[in-house]
């Protein structure tokens, strides 16, 4: 994928709700318009990220699954 993130957060091995909590903290530290790449291994993270971005108003730019990892690109939108 050709998205260049401003920050990378690896939440591999963490179970819900830790990936969401760490993602929130990381996104809070970004500037408006910057992108966070979050990597998770929890299969539930796909629905969690969709719900969290919808609830918070941030943008889930893209997501993909690579070698058992779930990768999300989240743009700080507010």
Q: Can you tell me the distance from the alpha carbon of 70 to that of 31, in angstroms, rounded to the nearest whole number?
A: 24
Tell the burial category of 74 from Cβ atoms under 10 Å away from its Cβ (0-12, 13-18, 19+): buried
Map out the domains of the chain with their CATH numbers.
Answer: 7-75 (3.30.110.40)
Return the active site residues: 16
14-43 pLDDT, tens digit each? 988 899 999 999 999 999 999 999 999 999
- Confidence (pTM): 0.93
Asked whether the predicted pLDDT for residue 1 surpasses 70, the reply is: no
């Amino acid at each position: 994928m050709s998205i260049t993130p401003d920050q990378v957060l690896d939440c591999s091995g963490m179970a819900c709700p830790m990936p969401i909590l760490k993602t929130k903290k990381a996104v809070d530290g970004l500037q408006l318009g910057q992108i966070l790449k979050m990597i998770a291994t929890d299969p539930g993270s796909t629905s969690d990220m969709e719900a969290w971005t919808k609830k918070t108003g941030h943008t889930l730019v893209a997501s993909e699954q690579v070698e058992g990892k779930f990768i999300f690109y989240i743009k700080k939108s507010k």
